[in-house]
Amino acid sequence: MGQQKLQGIRGMNDILPQNSGLWAALEKELRQWLVEYGYLEIRTPIVEDTALFVRSIGEVTDIVEKEMYSFEDRLNHDSLTLRPEGTASCVRSVIEHNLLYNGAQKLWYLGPMFRHERPQKGRYRQFHQCGVEALGFTGPDTDAELIIMTHRLWQRLGLTHVNLEINSIGSLETRHAYRAQLIDYFSQHHEVLDEDSKRRLHTNPLRILDSKNPDLLELIQEAPKLLDVLDEYSRNHFTRLRELLDSAGISYIINPRLVRGLDYYNATVFEWTTTLLGAQSTICGGGRYDRLVEQLGGKPTPACGFAMGIERLLVLIEEEGNLVSIPTEPQVYIIHQGTGTLEAAFKIAETLRDYQIRVLVYSGEGGFKNQMKRADQSQAHFALIIGENELSSGQFALKPLRGQGAQQLLSQSQLIDFFNEK
């Protein structure tokens, strides 16, 4: 009996060669877009001390309570966690390396995150995020620029079915007072709350406002609104943000139930949503977190940021976007037969690659017919045939494989000219 076939872990997907070209195209577009806005890349480890996420995200959030991949390092017994989001890691690194010593920082990152959620379209247990963090900036102009830059990205990617929702959740002190109002309100309707909401009632009642249970929608809509009790600073901040968005011509919806799922947010919160992805409607979310740097051991530092899910974004791009996959198929597949032809094939291939031409050389034993079959399977645009006659004459047969004209004989320099003109 053979050994049992091993499979990937549920919710942690392979990105196969037929899909990697679109991933590469999006990553290239993201890097260019972020450079244009003056953001610098930071790369942090995927494993952090568990306490980092408990302190930053909040002990009574779904992420910390139910979704984190945490384990004990058996060598030194530390409690470690695969990062569920990027902001905490970024802030930890900024504090540890004293990056704010010379002033404010605009940083971005791209990489895998891990949450033990129920896998479904656009949601995976290992997923990828592109995040942006602006640290050391106080005003609503930074909040506005983050929204303006994401709006520009959607335009570049050809995405039209995206909508902006914004809200202000005020200061920590305001939320404490509001929290008491919510507990009082929902306690009066305790019998209709679902189990999740009952669990959150005295620990994190703001998260009840974010419930996706349709049976609670009417109850939530009638709940006290945080916007009605905002502190003066947050109210002025939010008013100025709206003025800047109006001036930039960006439409938005004020969603008083928008609170985001992480405890570190204050003042501005926002989400970009779409109707094309079913339940997984949020493709980008963020807001302001002015106390997180201090909370993690740094000096008081205002900050604002966002993160977008790459998998969801790619699904949306495939639905309606204009992003073209970076080509990965060879332009030329070299077929060789006869004495000295393999050596010549390697030399010609390296010369073509000097001009960024994608080349694949046939490997192994095989006749002409078998090599042509492999050339066609490779999805190459052309087959370049090198036999002993071609080698002695210096003229090589270039055969189109995708209906791109007639076969022709070309010298090595003519080959280079041919592909450079394409």
Over the stretch 288-310, which tens digit does the pLDDT of each residue have?
Answer: 999 899 989 999 999 999 999 99
Output the pLDDT for position 280.
64
Domain ranges of the chain: 17-170+230-320, 332-420
Output the pLDDT for position 61.
66
What element of type H or E holds 41? strand 40-41
Which of the four pLDDT bands, split at 50, 70 and 90, describes residue 73? confident
> Tens digits of per-residue pLDDT, 137-158?
999 999 999 999 999 999 999 9
Per-residue pLDDT at 384 exceeds 90: yes
286 CB-near residues (< 8 Å, 6+ apart): 132, 146, 269, 270, 304, 305, 306, 307
The number of CA neighbours under 13 Å toward the Cβ of 389 is 3
Output the pLDDT for position 95.
94
Domain 17-170+230-320: which CATH class?
alpha beta
Output the pLDDT for position 301.
94
Mean pLDDT estimate for the chain: 88
Calculate the alpha carbon distances from 417 to 159, 350, 387 in Å. 38, 15, 22
Which of 210, 201, 203 lies closest to 182, judged by CA? 201
> Tens digits of per-residue pLDDT, 325-383?
888 889 999 999 888 889 999 999 999 999 999 999 998 888 888 999 999 999 999 99
Percent of the chain with pLDDT over 90: 47
- Comparing 292 with 206, the larger pLDDT belongs to 292
**Spatial distance between the Cα atoms of 196 and 208, rounded to a whole number of angstroms:** 8
* pTM assigned to the model: 0.86
Per the CB < 8 A criterion, the answer to whether 199 and 60 are in contact is: no
Give SS3 for 415.
helix
> Tens digits of per-residue pLDDT, 124-133?
889 999 999 9
Per-residue pLDDT at 13 exceeds 80: yes
Give SS3 for 133.
strand
Residue 196: Cβ within 10 Å count: 15
Q: How far is residue 245 CA from its own chain's centroid?
A: 24
**Spatial distance between the Cα atoms of 83 and 359, rounded to a whole number of angstroms:** 39
Homologous superfamily of domain range 332-420: Anticodon-binding domain (3.40.50.800)
Q: Which of 5-9, 61-65, 190-194, 236-240 has the lowest mean pLDDT?
A: 61-65
152 CB-near residues (< 8 Å, 6+ apart): 33
Mean pLDDT of 230-239: 90
Per the CB < 8 A criterion, the answer to whether 45 and 89 are in contact is: yes
Mean pLDDT of 87-115: 94
> Tens digits of per-residue pLDDT, 252-266?
999 888 876 666 788
| Range 7-12, long-range pairs (CB < 8 A, 24+ positions) | 9/125, 10/119, 10/125, 11/116, 11/117, 11/119, 11/124, 11/125, 11/126, 12/124, 12/125, 12/126
Cα torsion angle, 390, 391, 396, 402, sign: positive
Mean pLDDT of 397-403: 88
Output the pLDDT for position 60.
59
- Residue 403 gets the label, from left (phi > 0), alpha (psi -120 to 50) or beta, of left
